[in-house]
Amino acid sequence: MFEGWIQYYMAKDGIGRPRDVTCEDVLTAFDDVEKPVATGKLLAEMLDVSKQSVLRRLQELEEEGRVERWKVGSRAVVWWPTEES
């Protein structure tokens, strides 16, 4: 049981320190957003974790086709879950 927990919360390759937030945590946070899109900063504040942690999970989710993103400004990016999520 403990071994499964470690695999779930570690990076995909099993190397590195435990995750502060999971991909499922990030997807669930979208349910509480009152707009159709969210920023990494907003999701990080909602989950009380670092923005970098959330951005790493969002990138993983994007690679899996579970979220999409749109760069709306020079540094601003918004994210939303796909229909498949």
Provide the CATH number for the domain around residue 51.
Answer: 1.10.10.10
Q: Tell me, what's the pLDDT at 17? A: 52
Q: What is the pLDDT of residues 17-63, one digit of tens each?
A: 556 899 999 999 999 999 999 999 999 999 999 999 999 999 999 99
**Surface-to-core class of residue 62, CB atoms within 10 Å of its CB (0-12 exposed, 13-18 middle, 19+ buried):** middle
Question: How far apart are the C-alpha atoms of 4 and 54, rounded to whole Å?
Answer: 22
The number of distinct structural domains making up the chain is: 1
In a domain, 58, yes or no: yes
**Which two structure tokens, joined as six digits, stand for 61?**
């989710």
Classify residue 46: in a domain, yes or no.
Answer: yes
pLDDT value at 72 more than 80: yes
Average pLDDT over residues 1-22: 55
Q: Is residue 44 part of a domain?
A: yes
Residue 14 domain flag: no
In a domain, 3, yes or no: no
Report whether 28 contacts 38 (CB < 8 A): no
Where is pLDDT greater, at 14 or 79? 79
